[in-house]
Amino acid sequence: MIVTLIVLCEVGFWVLLAAGLATRYLLKMPRTGMALLLAEPLLEVVLLVATAIDLKNGADPSWEHGLAALYIGYTVGHGHRTVKWLDGHAAHRLGGAPPPPKPPKYGMARTRHEGRIWLGTLIGGAVATGLLLLAMAYVGDDGNTDGLRSWMYGAWRAVGIHGLIALSYLVWQKKDPGEASGTGSAVAARDPEHVADLLVRRPRKDEEQVR
């Protein structure tokens, strides 16, 4: 039942997202569209309540309950970024807004971008761990909680692996090809007011005399 509910919540997430964006930009009803977008966290609440009821009714903690905790954690950590990304593209294509800025590709800007994404994974892992600990405390010593504990370890392995990937963008920063090839101006910055004149080749005096 829990797996079916997770699938329904995932489908409902995309249905609400599409309905919210269409209402906001196609039907020109921004408040109604925003209300639909804000209703998406209710799906995670439904899944959380259903998981708690399932455990209360005597169900043994299993991989289904661990998967539900990880799904909720991922939605908390990365759901808002997904909605923001899609909203920016919908505003551009349907609402006439300028195109959303692309993520940076080089240097410290890319490092900070990857760090913010990893922070979402960290938040997701913390939320999933909190839910799993609550489930383990709810079951108590009478039930087998090894399955829930293994999901908790799995969540932090994912956080650690993603953290190493994000750290690699700091250790091995990708340089801008434009800067590496030296396409920038070679004129000294001590006389910036003369840059425009220096970049334009002026004719020499002997050339003027020939003319």
For residue 186, the model assigns a pLDDT of: 44
What mean pLDDT, rounded, does the chain reach?
81
- 97 CB contacts (<8 Å, ≥6 apart)? 88, 91
pTM for this entry = 0.76
Mean pLDDT of the 122-136 span: 92
Distance CA 19, CA 36 (A): 7
Q: What proportion of the chain, given as a percentage, has pLDDT over 70?
A: 82
Binned at pLDDT 50, 70 and 90, residue 191 comes out as very low
pLDDT digits (tens, 9 = 90+) for 63-103: 888 888 999 999 999 988 989 998 999 998 888 889 888 89
pLDDT level of residue 180 (50, 70, 90 thresholds) = low
Instruction: Give Cα 87 distance to the centre of its chain.
Output: 13
Query: What confidence tier does 176 reach under pLDDT thresholds 50, 70, 90?
Result: confident
Q: Name residues whose C-beta falls within 8 Å of residue 65's C-beta, 6 or more positions apart in sequence.
A: 2, 51, 54, 55, 59, 135, 147, 148
pLDDT for residue 195: 41
Average pLDDT estimate for 38-52:
85
User: pLDDT tier at 142 (50, 70, 90 boundaries)?
Assistant: low
Residue 168 to residue 174: CA distance in whole angstroms:
10
Average pLDDT for 36-44: 86
Q: Cβ atoms within 10 A of the Cβ of 5, count?
A: 19
In tens, the pLDDT along 145-158 reads 777 888 899 999 99
Q: Is the confidence at residue 61, as pLDDT, over 80?
A: no
pLDDT confidence of 125, banded at 50, 70, 90? very high
Pseudo-torsion of CA 41, 44, 49, 53, nearest 10°?
Answer: 170
Provide mean pLDDT across the span 47-61: 80
Backbone angles phi, psi at 189, to 5 degrees: -80, 0
